[in-house]
Copies of this chain bind each other. A is one copy, B any other.
């Protein structure tokens, strides 16, 4: 990468990055053409290759950029102060879907990068991906009071159900071209939490405030 790229006015820099996220996010690597990226960024292809020596180095720059942004967004420390399982779920979901709402193309890019196997970039990717995933989930639920759960209910199972429901909800709305999907999601989220809390928590914990 040409260092001068970092000196660019932010508006232009983001235009280029977002064009990359969009095109790499909706096409596989080989078919994501630099022509299209340059067009979406409203610059010439020559300039794109002036800042990034070749296609692959641009792609890898985008990946590291997204990686940083994601880490930075996930690893705020507020979650350490939340002790109720469902409260923490809701907090995490809020943050996750806020980010999705703000950077749709970036998340497309990340999702695709995740699943790109056997492509020309994958060699360099595989290591990075493996790391980025594991780091997160270990610490997250450390401060939660699991004694509220019934003995025969596995908290992690409830978490997975909740995640799948939210993702399914979102996926269906996107498929049918709906709007305001993230707002709608968080509206439903409380309801799902309420239902799952019924079956997961011991009775004496069911009446806690859920604002």
Contact = CB atoms under 8 A, between A and B. Distances in A.
Contact of A161 (B115, B157, B165, B199): B165
Decide if the interface of chain A is mainly helix, strand, loop or mixed: helix
Identical subunits present: 2
A178 to B, nearest CB: 14
A169 interface: yes
Interface residues of A, number: 19
A192 B161 contact: yes
Nearest to A197: B199
A110 to B, nearest CB: 14
Interface string A26-45: 00000100000000000000
B31 A175 contact: no
A196 B163 CA distance: 16
Nearest to A30: B31
